[in-house]
Amino acid sequence: MKQIVGMILSTILVVTMARAGATDDKEAKAIESGRQWLAQCDLGNYGESWEMAATYFKNAVKKDQWEQMAEAVRKPLGKVVKRDVKSQKYQTTAPGAPDGEYVIIQFSTTFENKKESTETLTLMMDKDRGWRTAGYFVK
């Protein structure tokens, strides 16, 4: 009986670790995609960041609108001095968005003109395109 319980617990542990590893891998890939997207914003390439964004994002805001909004928010902040991942969370729902796969990433960011800020990036698994930015907020 102890052997059966031990085998069941071992199986549960292996499955749990595999799921955690899969989630960690998804988060890592989303973070990399998010960093690439942010790099375009850092360079002022807002049109390119729109092109790289999730279909959901592009359906919500037109390219020229995004370029104007992003420049209005980012330009006064100045250049990025430092950006570190503060947190990341994998989830299958997001407020106001369809069910799917999401990773919410918060970066602790220092800009030239704003020493302490939090950038929140929502990435979603886009159809056939991998992890793509679906939302961006600076606080």
CA–CA gap between residue 79 and residue 62 (Å, rounded): 25
Q: Is the pLDDT of residue 17 over 80?
A: no
The percentage of the chain sitting over the pLDDT mark of 90, rounded to a whole number, equals 74
Mean local confidence (pLDDT), 13-18: 40
**Range of lowest pLDDT (22-26, 57-61, 83-87):** 22-26
Mean local confidence (pLDDT), 105-111: 98
Record the tokens describing residue 56, joined without a space.
């959901």
Tens-place pLDDT, residues 119-131? 999 999 988 779 9
pLDDT at 97: 85
State which fold the 2-138 domain adopts.
Answer: Nuclear Transport Factor 2; Chain: A, (3.10.450)
Q: What would you report as the CA-atom Rg of the chain, rounded to the nearest whole angstrom?
A: 19
Domain residue extents for the chain: 2-138
The percentage of the chain sitting over the pLDDT mark of 70, rounded to a whole number, equals 84
CA–CA gap between residue 138 and residue 115 (Å, rounded): 13
Q: What letter does residue 113 receive in the DSSP assignment?
A: T
pLDDT classification of 46: cutoffs 50, 70, 90: very high
**What's the helix, strand, coil split of the chain in %, to 5?**
50, 30, 20
The pTM (predicted TM-score) of the whole model is: 0.80
Q: Is the pLDDT of residue 110 over 90?
A: yes
User: Higher pLDDT residue, 15 or 85?
Assistant: 85
